[in-house]
Amino acid sequence: MKRLLTIVSAALISAGSFISAAQGQNEISVYMGVMNAEYTSVDINRRYNYYRDLYALYEPNYDIGCYPTVTLDYNRRVLSWMSAGVQANWALMHGTGRYVMESAPETSFRQHMVAVLPQAKFYIPGPKRFRPYAKVGLGIGFSLGDQVVGKPVTFAWDIAPIGFEWGSNTVYAIFEASFGNVITGMRFGIGYRF
């Protein structure tokens, strides 16, 4: 009984520290990041399937690099250790297409990558002014442009296994590393809690 009371007390104290560390139920954030297009490249090029085929030899293969992204994020606290919300991501991607079997000139493409994902954010116990968290989002992604390369609409997922809020409870800096099938990369931003 004594051990149980000790555990319950510790849990209540932790819950209390979460609440006092993050006053306000709502938080909005804006991030800028750098997108690593390798995952998207895999989907666009469809190279990493198990068929070594003529399509891959005769259709252009795209060389895609890293591009800036912008993310808008809103969450509302639903539990002491969890928030629910939505994020919207945008990136401008362009690449160069080269043919394997043809001597045709290189092609290029440019398209907007947009994803909207309902998400859950999980707060990890840590110091008051340096608050770690993790996020997972599932939603829908779009590729927009005159000539879209890859799927124009796709199921989107985004996982930030680690992120940090740094600052006061109201205004704080954010850093997170995220992995997704539409946009992947690291993000820096600023958040406001109200």
Q: Enumerate binding residues for other proteins (CB under 8 A).
A: 34, 36-38, 41, 45, 47, 50-59, 61-66, 98-103, 126-127, 130, 132, 162, 164, 175, 177, 185-186
Which has the closest alpha carbon to 142: 119, 117, 120, 160?
A: 117
Nearer to other proteins, 86 or 148 (CB): 148
Least distance CB 8 / other proteins (angstroms) = 29
Least distance CB 162 / other proteins (angstroms) = 6
| Helix (H) or strand (E) run with residue 40 in it | helix 38-45
Q: Following DSSP, what letter does each residue of 143-186 receive, concatenated?
A: EESSS--S-SEEEEEEEEEEEEEEE-SSEEEEEEEEEESS--EE
Q: What's 124's DSSP letter?
A: -
Nearer to other proteins, 33 or 141 (CB): 33
Least distance CB 188 / other proteins (angstroms) = 10
Per-residue HEC secondary structure of 109-120 comes to EEEEEEEEEEEE
Nearer to other proteins, 97 or 139 (CB): 97
End-to-end CA distance of the chain: 40
Nearer to other proteins, 74 or 175 (CB): 175
Is the four-CA dihedral 147, 150, 153, 157 of positive or negative sign?
negative
Least distance CB 33 / other proteins (angstroms) = 9
Least distance CB 65 / other proteins (angstroms) = 5
Nearer to other proteins, 98 or 151 (CB): 98
